[in-house]
Structure formats: structure tokens, C-alpha cells
Structure 1
Amino acid sequence: MGYLAKVLTAALVMGVAAAGPAAADPSTGSAADINTLAGTLSKGYGLNNCTAQPVPRGALAYLQCGQSPDPSGPILAKYFLFGDDDLASSFNALIGGDALSNCADKPSPAPWHQGSSTTSAGYVACGTFQNHAEIIWTNAAKNVLGVIRAAGADVPALYQWWRNNG
């Protein structure tokens, strides 16, 4: 497993960070990159309930979020902004740690589409990690990798939440 894969895997295993405004410092990336990443977060998340984390090699920004304001939402969310070619390799490294299952009626990983578009927006994988449902996806146009984790192992429910809330 490469360095970035180990760092990203360690980042996923870490506990939930305290909520509060994200502030840039040299280890967490530039304010511009953090703000760019914040603009891609799932519904209910923002800089008020996500915090900037030390940036793994290959990423430009990393935000970690706690429990979704939606009680049926994830207990944890992590978002990474990449500059170029590291998005696909990071996605593949992260899904390697999950016991993959279908995302609705499609095997994981699979391309996903926004709304009624037939153009792929990136890739999504569904599965479990340490008995918690996870959805891991990329947004290719925005160079973002996202991970959400549920309190339990109900992958279909978490996938539906992600489809509804991004």
C-alpha cells in the first residue's frame, strides 16, 4: 500500500473531529482550496460543522465533518480536494479497505450520474468498513473524493441518503 493510501486509510479510521469553522494553516492547505472544497460538501455540511485537517500527500485540502444535521444521515464525512492525477488512485486505495457491495442495483465500483445526465460524474463504491456502511465517491469535474459513514451497516439506506443529499 502506497504512502497516500496509508494516510487516507488512517484519516478514515480517525475519530470524529470537533465541529467549528475551518481555518487554513500550512498543514491544512490554502484558504482558497478549503473554500473550494467546502462548496462541494453534501447537504447540511459546511465550514460551520466541518474542520480542515492536515492534508495528505497528493491532496490540496481535506475537511472532516461529524454527524450530519439530518438524523438519518451519516455520522462521519470526509472530503478531499485533489489537483490532478491522484483522485483515481486515492479512490482505489480507499475502496480497497471496504467490503464492497452493490450501490442499489449496480456493482461497486461503478460510474455515477448527476440527475438525469447520462455523462459520468465520477465513480461510487458502496460497502462496509469496520461494520459501518460507507459510500465512497469521486466528482471528476471538481477533483473531489468523498466518504460518508453510517452508524450501522445499512448500506442501501446510506446510499439513498447520498443520492438525495450528494
Structure 2
Amino acid sequence: VCDGLSLDVETQSASNGQNNGLAILTTGAGYAPYSGWLNGQSVVDIDTLAQLSPGYHHLVISDAFACSDSITFYIGSVNEGGAGNWHIHQQGASLLVDVTNSPIQLQAFDALGRLVLDQFLPVGSSQVAAPGLAQGIYVFRAVGQDDAVKLFME
């Protein structure tokens, strides 16, 4: 009877410090109705799992014939911060920086105070590749402006 119930999940990260992550589930080859358990607790709406905290989650789904499949997925945390003329947040291995009033020279410093990024950014949204930034805390500042933002890079 079990002919390959399968699960696929798409995730949306939670805001920094919030439990508002989202997982959208797609089931394949199973038979409704489905029942689900997320992190060992029963869930009613298995199509969209909301209010998820950052971190790993384990989902088990069973169909009408007691066929089951499980998947472990990760909800990231969107680290973001802003100061005056600019706002920054992590997007995977990149940074998305919104500059509102005037161009900035964005600099990033690691935990030891070393300059690890120095880039001119025009007004508007810019995606900054940050492949050299490992997981950790960085201080971002705009040269010539009296503001800085501290972010934890995942």
C-alpha cells in the first residue's frame, strides 16, 4: 500500500530573535488525510508550519494508510540591523544593504578588529558577496557616519 510518500519543504527564515520562521510542505504520492508531528508534537495544519524558531526541526508525516516519511529542515535567522542612512541584513552567503540618502563606504570588522570588507555602495539596494566572512560576530560601519551595526553571521 505504501507507494512512496515523499516530503519536500521550503523554508523562510525567522527574524532575528523572533519565532516567526515558516515552512511550506509539499507531499507526494501519499493519500490524504495526513497527520503530522513536528519536533514530537502533533500539528494540525501540515501544509504551512508557522511561528517556527531558528534551528533544526524534525517533521514526520503519515497518510491515510499509515505510510510515513520524515524530513529534518533548518530555519535560519535573518540577522539585520540599521543605522540612519543604511540598513543591512544577511541573505545566505551575501549581505543585502539598503542605502537611503547618500552613498556610503561600508566596512566590516571581525571580532579581532581586523578590516575584512571595504566596499563603496550607492544609494539603493546592493547585494554584497561575503564569501570570506565565516560564522561569527562582525561590526559593520559606514565611513564618515557616526554609526555602526553589530551582526552575528550564520
The TM-score normalised by the length of structure 1 is 0.24
Greater relative contact order, per chain length (Cα 8 Å cut-off, separation 6+): 1
Larger helix fraction of residues: 1
Larger strand fraction of residues: 2
The TM-score normalised by the length of structure 2 is 0.25
Q: Which has the larger radius of gyration?
A: 2
